[in-house]
Structure 1
Amino acid sequence: MVQWAQFEQEEPEFAAEVRKRFTAARHHVLATLRADGSPRVSGTEVDFQHGHVQFGSMLGARKAQDLRRDGRCAIHANPGDGSMAEPDAKISGIATEVDDPAAKEPMQSPDGEPMDYHLFRLDLTEAVLTKPEGNLLVIRSWRPGKGIRRFTRT
């Protein structure tokens, strides 16, 4: 597992492509594991700060409970308009809750009141970009220390 900054150092161009997909839209899909091991998908927003991939959750939300119990998760970037003109991006790894209040930016509720929340940082185990090219589906996958692997499917 590595932090986002290390991914950027290992594969700067690939990391930039993945980041571009996550910053192109605000809302993405987070997959976590329920207590019984079945998947749960939730909406989330992703932020790239201080060399980390970060995302938040309302206090006590199910996705936060899932991640506190088992940090394994994956995030699928919003695919945009569905044209697949840009690659489809996914990252996965282990999320860890940030306990330091100084590391969390203040948030406000819709009525302007200060609001606490869960903040998680993702240590990466994989990043994937998928894009149709002609009759092929081209998949580029990166794992820490293993570089980028490219393969195709028909």
Structure 2
Amino acid sequence: MGARFGAYRHHVLATLRRDGAPRLSGLEADFRHGELWLGMMNGSRKAQDLRRDPRFSLHANPGQHSEVPELGDVRVSGRAVETTDPELMARYAVEVRPPEPFHLFRAEVTEVVRTYIESPWVVVETWSPGRPLRTIRRTSEDATLEVG
């Protein structure tokens, strides 16, 4: 997962607007100290969305699949927990150098989905905390083989 997100700097964050409609926004996601962090500009719509409803999905930048095809397509979903701890925010600011002031959220991951091609299969791997990895292989004929 980290390798897929590390391949590109900018990714796509999905949050929920006040009326429940999805909002898609660009975001630089950071993996630091074993956790996924979402930093964003002060007062941004995506920060307001997450403060109201912490559910999110983060889709890794698909880039050019031909560059690193084995990494596939990755999406992480979960809940964003805002941090206001001055020490943590200061450490993040030194490491990442975001425009200040900023909002900082720690991701509590509830699901990771990775999709890639392993000819003749399209492979979908799904992981959730406390559950084993689930792998589904599909062919273009729409036959499904579930493993795990």
Q: What is residue 61 of structure 1 aligned with on the other side?
A: 44
Q: What is residue 71 of structure 1 aligned with on the other side?
A: 54
Tell me, what secondary structure is at the counterpart of 1:45? strand
CA distance in 2, matches of 1:51, 1:73: 19
Aligned residues: 132
Q: TM-score, normalising length from structure 1?
A: 0.80
User: Paired residue for 2:15, among 32, 55, 76?
Assistant: 32
Q: Which residue type is aligned with residue 24 of structure 1?
A: A
> Any residues of structure 2 matched to 1:41-120 within 5 Å, and which?
41-83=24-66, 85=69, 86-104=71-89, 105-106=92-93, 107=97, 109=99, 115-120=100-105
Q: Which residue type is aligned with residue 99 of structure 1?
A: T
Matching of residue 129 in structure 1 with residue 114 in structure 2: yes
Tell me, what secondary structure is at the counterpart of 1:94? strand
Q: How far did 1:152 drift? A: 2.1
CA distance in 1, matches of 2:57, 2:131: 19
Gaps of at least 5 residues in structure 2 are 140-148
CA distance in 2, matches of 1:24, 1:130: 16
Q: TM-score, normalising length from structure 2?
A: 0.83
Per-residue CA deviation, residues 3-46 of structure 1 (Å, 9 max, x unaligned), is: xxxxxxxxxxxxxxx11001111000000000111100000011
Q: How far did 1:80 drift? A: 1.8
Gaps of at least 5 residues in structure 1 are 1-17, 110-114
Q: How far did 1:82 drift? A: 3.3
Tell me, what secondary structure is at the counterpart of 2:43? coil
What is the Cα-based RMSD across aligned positions, in Å? 1.4
Q: How far did 1:108 drift? A: 5.9
Q: How far did 1:127 drift? A: 0.8
Q: What is residue 9 of structure 1 aligned with on the other side?
A: none
Per-residue CA deviation, residues 104-137 of structure 1 (Å, 9 max, x unaligned), is: 133465xxxxx21000110010111100222421
